[in-house]
Amino acid sequence: MSLLQISEPGQSPAPHQRRLAAGIDLGTTNSLVATSRSGVADVLPDIDGYHLLPSIVSYTKGQPAIVGRVAAAAAVSDPLNTIASVKRLMGRGIEDVVQTGNKLPYQFTKSEQGMPRISTVAGDVSPVQVSSEILKALKLRAEQSLQGELDGVVITVPAYFDDAQRQATKDAARLAGLNVLRLLNEPTAAAIAYGLDRGSEGIHVIYDLGGGTFDISILRFSKGIFEVIATAGNAALGGDDLDHEIAKWIMAQADISGDASHSQMRHVLSEARIAKEALTNQTSVELRIDLDKGAVWQGELTRKQLETLIEPVIRRTLAPCRRALRDADIQVSDVQDVVLVGGTTRTPLVRKLVGEFFEQPPLVDIDPDKVVAIGAAIQADILVGNKNDGEMLLLDVIPLSLGLETMGGLSEKLIARNTTIPVARAQEFTTYKDGQVAMMIHVVQGERDLVDDCRSLARFELRGIPPMAAGVARIRVTFQVDADGLLSVDAIEQTSGVSSHIEVKPSYGLQENEIEQMLRDSMDHAESDVESRRLREAQVDAKRLIEAVESALAVDAEKLLDCEECQKINQALEKLKEAESSSSLEEVKRLTSILDKASAGFAAKRMDANIHKVLSGHSVTDFDNK
């Protein structure tokens, strides 16, 4: 008689045990982690049920970094030590950061490698380190949800990320202790999530406008092959730019000078973002900005005014769309459908302009915030070995041309942009003077003809060339781009066999010894860091609640509370204040909960009083006529 091996529903017995994999969308504004279970991919929430993790990291002296919603609360009160939109700084040199048009509320220092470092009370940190803190938080969320250690992850990056930005992302993942199966372009991940590879054959467009980056990718599906045929975009254009346009308008209306304090700038930007999001569903929104010396500015922003402010920024995304169509050699009429990705695509004007450009309403079936993470999770499930990938063949492309510097400072392209990866290309070069025994090889990336107009990726030397007449030596240079879009270069002199090799890394990336030391430190203190972070987050929540209750009591206690209610709240308040700096996580959370419950009735009375004040003197018909 044959024996059956039985397992619990959703689980598999060895030797067919599923490996744990996840997809990570490391976003400018928010980040997410998703996984595929029982053939269905979904985004994983935190313990409070939130799927989005704000990509914000707050640093405190002598404490582990705080990530997410708690960190976001400190953005206005402590802007210099609270890092947001760090994705825009990834893989960038200090000169790139200084040249950005928007004022960044941080103090930058330059490292020996040219990478910008942000000064905080916890010491100088690089964008790679800040991103690693976000990835650590997502890793912890995934492992707690899946009850096991991750075997591998797929991390998404903008299609227009260059080699330096991709390498910086991989450095951050290594620092977070993650095994990166692949870096996947965000538009490609979105296409996977929509299942376009299993749909009808034809041309599909992915329009991806996130918080800090924009990508447009054109894909062709034919006979089971999922091919990216063109991509374009801007790695420094996104929802943050809409926020800055609104903030400039608010500052002009409120007469706030351009050299306002970091805290004031963060406050205005925060209000601008809230107004932008509110106007997605409303036609107008009230604004209130706290000014210096206790003054307050109040105003109104309508959706029409908003669209006037942001339309020039959104129209900047249409030029890459035209370029991608031209590169793909297709017309708008050839496009079968358009998929919107990224939280900024919720803006009604974005959907209107995209629909007009492509002459059809875009697809918004899947939450634009979640679609990239879901696609990454599906791909991770395949790459980790849980799922047969025979039904789906991914052919992605590189976003920018790769080449070498030749005589006269010219760029000789070896691999053209929109070339399918992985790919290897070789070309022969020669010496330019008699007796030359070495050659400096300068690797560049970009579309311009002059090296000065392209991005320098790496320099290395080929030595030991036999002395020959100029033009006799035959030096074969080979470029190889892997599935992550990362480049390695080999050079060999054909007659002698001397060779040289380099794996291209940005000159301002982390050094190997830095990464190794940080990894050792993170492993040595992993358990204590988790506990310290949880305690610090609880202490911050307690402090915020104390300040809110004290402020409310000072204004409305006499009007709304009797002696018994006031005494009960004050007792809970004093106990929490005494325990606020306690080293006991359970005690801080317990007393916070007690104060929260004790003050709930008071909060409800304040809300009712405010509503009554607003409605006072009006009739229902007053509001009907507006």
Enzyme catalytic residues:
25, 87, 186, 208
Residue 100 and residue 347: Cα distance in Å, rounded?
A: 24
Contact 165, 239 (CB under 8 A): no
Alpha helices in 48-154 (DSSP H): 69-73, 94-98, 127-146
Q: Tokens 């304040």 label which residue? A: 606
- Residue 429: enclosing H or E segment and its boundaries? strand 423-429
The rounded distance, in Å, linking the Cα atoms of 332 and 330 is 7
> Phi and psi of 176, rounded to 5°?
-85, 0
Determine which helix (DSSP H) or strand (DSSP E) holds 424, and give its type and residue range: strand 423-429
Q: Find the distance separating the first CA and the last CA of the chain, reported in whole Å.
A: 80
Q: In angstroms, rounded to a whole number, what is the distance separating the alpha carbons of residues 504 and 487?
A: 6
Task: Give the start-end residues of each E strand in 235-334.
Answer: 284-290, 296-302
Residues 82, 122: contact at Cβ < 8 Å?
Answer: no
Q: Output b/e per residue, 276-315; b: 16+ Cβ within 10 A.
A: bbebeeeeebebebeeeeeeeeeeebebeebbebbeebbe
Two structure tokens written together for 301 = 């922003």
* Alpha-helix runs per DSSP H in 389-525: 512-524
Q: Which residues contact 111 (CB under 8 A, 6 or more apart)?
A: 117, 124, 126, 508
